């Protein structure tokens, strides 16, 4: 049996409801998961929530709830956001799940038995916002630059340490041997300079007195696992490590998708933990940028008013997915504004692909008795589609989803331009052009079919509606070359005038 394409996202802290920044990552990973399924892979997509640690513990306390009660009350908001946005995950993991505690202990014991734990005294700063230890040089005016409203806490504890410092050379060797390990390339370079700058051992236990909410360490009473060390292990839990070795063999290693703010943990600490345990490293790690609002990272507080669930209810999930994938370049940062969102909807969706579908189908029905016309091959559009399929496939395969979608979009743009340039309504008046008109209209419909297939990972619902309108619902069961090769649309298949794919905004919002 072939290996599973195992894809994961970072798991979100449950100290508030999910915002558009969280949604961005889950959508991006979903596009990749759907793309791989389209290519015929067996895919397993893991996402979930990071529920332990002092940040969650404190927020629960403020809400007057016990931590378990508090996280239980918030998790449904994450699940319903992801279902509203059509995220096709296979498991929603919670770090309070029983199998996770089991896997975490198994990994910890392996690392201990291989000699990579030690007891050391820790003295230093801790930022609850990052859930991370900080050195003096990490702080600016005594504050963590990412959490300027919080006061870092001074901590003095004798803790269990992970000997991260011993992995510098091995990590560098791995990066050297696997240039694709971390992308985009500029993130890889940042991580490399971090590793070259030297690594310090990491405290991986916390006393119950300072943080009560975490997974207990059986061989160290009164201690819980440091939340980052524990949370990273969720990727192994999802693969079945420690409780189902067949599954684990099938799934591991993973492709990890996460934000640029958490690369230090994923690209340095995590691979070192796996090396310490003697396990294979992830296949690839992709660090995306941030959804910004007013130039700042969208967050719990700045995200108020752009709740993903409300947006999906109002506009449909696909326009939200489309905006984030095409307008916030995957790997870089991008701004969200309502104005830009609505302009994108109108220009690309209502007037772009929606109008193209309605014009092409209407003309085929009107001029060719309601069926897909047949004629000699329309080489211009066929050549474009073949070029785009190759380009889009290469980009999606390399996890570059914005580029993959932009390539597919060239088909939509070119078809609309060709309609203007060739004026099929004029061709229809000239009997000598009948064959040319049939070829052109077949070419438009076939190009749309291919564009819909390529864009279906981004807009699964609307592209399925498009396939229905073209009379090729079977495409939903096709994969790879069979789906993406020119000529899939059968001449003579009946067409019927579809409802507007993307109603105009004034109509949509009046409903």
Residues in contact with ligand MSP by the rule CB under 6 A: 10-13, 21-22, 24-25, 50, 231-232, 234, 258-259, 261-262, 290-291, 297-298
Query: For residue 387, what are its two tokens?
Result: 């070029």
Angle ∠(41,76,326) on CA atoms, nearest 5: 50
Angle ∠(203,207,211) on CA atoms, nearest 5: 100
The SS3 call for residue 159 is strand
Between 38 and 258, whose beta carbon lies closer to ligand MSP?
A: 258
Closest CA to 80 of 94, 92, 98: 92
How is 217-235 classified by DSSP, letter by letter? -TTSTTEEE-HHHHHHTHH
Q: What are phi and psi of 156, to 5 degrees?
A: -125, 110
- What secondary structure letter does DSSP report for 398? T
Give residue number: closest CB to ligand MSP: 259
Closest CA to 227 of 49, 490, 26: 49
Q: How many CA atoms lie within 13 A of 212 on its CB side?
A: 8
The SS3 call for residue 50 is strand
Query: For residue 446, what are its two tokens?
Result: 């076939």
Return the active site residues.
19, 22, 127, 130, 144, 147, 297, 300
CB of 164 to ligand MSP, least distance (A): 16
Answer for the pair 423, 449: CB distance below 8 angstroms, yes or no.
no
Q: What are phi and psi of 224, to 5 degrees?
A: -120, 160
CB atoms within 10 A of CB 298: 21
| Cβ-defined contacts of 391-394 (< 8 Å, 24+) | 392/454, 393/484
Cα separation, 342 vs 356, in Å, equals 19
């Amino acid at each position: 049996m072939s290996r599973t394409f195992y894809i994961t996202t970072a798991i979100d802290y449950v100290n508030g409801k999910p915002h558009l920044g969280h949604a961005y990552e889950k959508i991006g990973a979903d596009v990749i998961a759907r793309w791989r399924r389209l290519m015929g892979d067996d895919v397993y997509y893991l996402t979930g929530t990071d529920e332990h640690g002092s940040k969650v513990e404190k927020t629960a306390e403020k809400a007057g709830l016990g931590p378990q009660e508090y996280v239980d009350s918030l998790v449904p908001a994450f699940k319903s956001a992801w279902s509203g946005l059509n995220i096709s995950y296979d498991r929603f993991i919670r770090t309070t799940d029983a199998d996770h505690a089991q896997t975490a202990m198994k990994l910890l014991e392996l690392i201990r038995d291989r000699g990579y734990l030690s007891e050391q005294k820790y003295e230093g700063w801790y930022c609850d916002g990052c859930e991370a230890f900080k050195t003096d040089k990490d702080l600016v005016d005594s504050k963590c630059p990412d959490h300027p409203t919080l006061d870092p806490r001074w901590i003095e504890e004798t803790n269990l340490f992970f000997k991260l410092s011993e992995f510098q050379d091995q990590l560098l060797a791995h990066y050297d041997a696997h240039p694709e390990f971390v992308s985009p390339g500029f993130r890889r370079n940042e991580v490399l300079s971090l590793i070259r700058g030297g690594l310090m051992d990491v405290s991986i236990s916390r006393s119950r007195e300072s943080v009560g909410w975490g997974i207990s360490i059986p061989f160290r009473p009164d201690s819980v696992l440091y939340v980052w060390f524990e949370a990273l292990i969720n990727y192994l839990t999802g693969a079945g490590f420690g409780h189902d070795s067949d599954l684990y063999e099938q799934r591991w290693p993973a492709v990890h998708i996460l934000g640029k703010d958490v690369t230090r943990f994923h690209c340095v600490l995590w691979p070192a933990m796996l090396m310490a345990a003697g396990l294979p490293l992830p296949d690839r790690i992709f660090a995306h940028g941030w959804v910004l609002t007013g130039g700042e990272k969208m967050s719990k507080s700045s995200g108020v008013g752009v709740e993903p669930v409300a947006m999906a209810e109002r506009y449909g999930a696909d326009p939200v997915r489309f905006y984030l994938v095409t307008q916030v370049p995957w790997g870089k940062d991008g701004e969200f504004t309502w104005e830009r969102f609505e302009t994108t909807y109108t220009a690309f969706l209502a007037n772009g692909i929606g109008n193209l579908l309605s014009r092409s189908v209407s003309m085929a029905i009107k001029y060719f008795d309601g069926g897909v016309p047949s004629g000699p091959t329309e080489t211009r559009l066929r050549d474009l589609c073949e070029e785009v399929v190759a380009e889009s496939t290469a980009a999606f395969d390399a996890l570059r989803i914005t580029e993959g979608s932009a390539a597919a979009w060239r088909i939509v743009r070119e078809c609309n331009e060709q309609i203007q340039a060739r004026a099929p309504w004029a061709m229809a008046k000239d009997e000598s052009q009948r064959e040319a008109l049939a070829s052109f209209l077949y070419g438009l419909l076939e190009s749309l079919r291919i564009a819909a297939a390529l864009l279906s990972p981004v807009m699964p619902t609307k592209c399925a509606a498009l396939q229905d309108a073209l009379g090729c619902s079977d495409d939903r069961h096709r994969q790879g070359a069979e789906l993406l090769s020119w000529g899939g649309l059968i001449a003579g298949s009946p067409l019927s005038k579809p409802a507007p794919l993307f109603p105009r905004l004034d109509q949509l919002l009046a409903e």
